[in-house]
Amino acid sequence: NAGVMQNPRHLVRRRGQEARLRCSPMKGHSHVYWYRQLPEEGLKFMVYLQKENIIDESGMPKERFSAEFPKEGPSILRIQQVVRGDSAAYFCASSLGRGQGRYEQYFGPGTRLTVT
Amino acid sequence: ELKVEQNPLFLSMQEGKNYTIYCNYSTTSDRLYWYRQDPGKSLESLFVLLSNGAVKQEGRLMASLDTKARLSTLHITAAVHDLSATYFCAAQGGGADGLTFGKGTHLIIQP
C-alpha cells in the first residue's frame, strides 16, 4: 500500500531556472495539499487541489508559483525563475476528502529544493 | 486568521523524566494534530484530536485538547532517547482545509 510519493527527493536549480515538483497521492485519495518548510520553521500551507480544480491557493506566492492536479497523473508544483529564498523542503499531503473519516492528511517524504 | 504557537521551541531533557509541550491556537479550530519529524524526514502523524476534553495516548506520549482554552498538550512520560525529534502541532479550522502549523519543538533526550 504505497503512501504519498514525491519526486524528485532532492532538486538543485540555479537562480532563474524552473523547478517542477511532483506528487502522487495515496491510492484512492483525490485531494492534494502542498506545504513549504523553511529551515527551522514549521510547515506553511500553500495550496489545496482536487482533480482538475484549485480549491484554495491562499498560501501561494502571487508570482512565479503555480500548481495543478490534472485528471491523469501527479500533482505538479511549478516554480518559475527560482531565487535563493525558494530553497526549502516542499511537502505534499493527500486525503480522501473533507468529511468525517476522510479529512486526515498523509504526508509524502518531501522534495528538498536548493537554489544556487 | 488562525495562528498556532508552540512552546518551548527547544527542549533538552534526560531519559526517565516527564515533560509537556504546549500548543495554543488563536481561533476556533475543528481539529488539532500532532506530528513527529525526524531530521531530513517527512511528518509522521501521532494524534488527531477533535473535541473538547479529548485525550489520546500511544506509548509514552499522551495528547489532550481543551477547546475552551484553545490549548493542546503533548505529554511525554519517562522519556527515552528514541523520542528525540521535532514535534509539531497543527490546527485546522476557520473554513480552511490547509493545516496551520506551529514552529515545532525540537526535543533532545539525553541518556
CA atoms within 13 A on the CB side of A81: 2
pLDDT-based confidence at A98, cuts 50/70/90?
A: confident
Check: CB of residue B101 under 8 Å from CB of residue B89. yes
B97 at A interface, C-beta within 8 A: yes
Interface contact B104, partner A, CB < 8 A: yes
| Distance, C-alpha B76 to centroid of its chain | 10
Backbone angle region of B52, left / alpha / beta, with phi > 0 → left and psi within -120 to 50 → alpha? beta
Q: Do A43 and B41 touch (CB under 8 A)?
A: no
Dist CA A55 CA A47 (whole Å): 8
The C-alpha cell that represents A58 in the structure block: 491562499
| More confident position, A81 or B51 | A81
pLDDT for A104: 86
Predicted pLDDT at A1: 53
CB within 8 Å: A33 and B92? no
CB contact under 8 Å between A43 and B102, yes or no, is no
Instruction: Dig out the grid coordinates for A70 from the structure.
Output: 490534472
Instruction: Name the residue of chain A whose CA is nearest to B106's CA.
Output: A40
- Does B96 reach chain A within 8 Å, measured CB to CB? yes
pLDDT of residue A41: 78
C-alpha to C-alpha distances, B49 to A7, A25, A105, nearest whole angstrom: 31, 24, 14
Grid coordinates representing A79 are: 516554480
Helix, strand or coil for residue A99? coil
Q: What is the pLDDT along chain B (111 residues), one digit of tens a residue?
A: 889 999 999 999 999 999 999 999 998 888 899 999 998 888 999 999 988 888 999 999 999 999 999 999 999 999 999 999 999 999 988 777 899 999 999 999 998
For residue A11, what pLDDT is reported? Answer: 98
A31 interaction partners in chain B (CB closer than 8 Å): 97
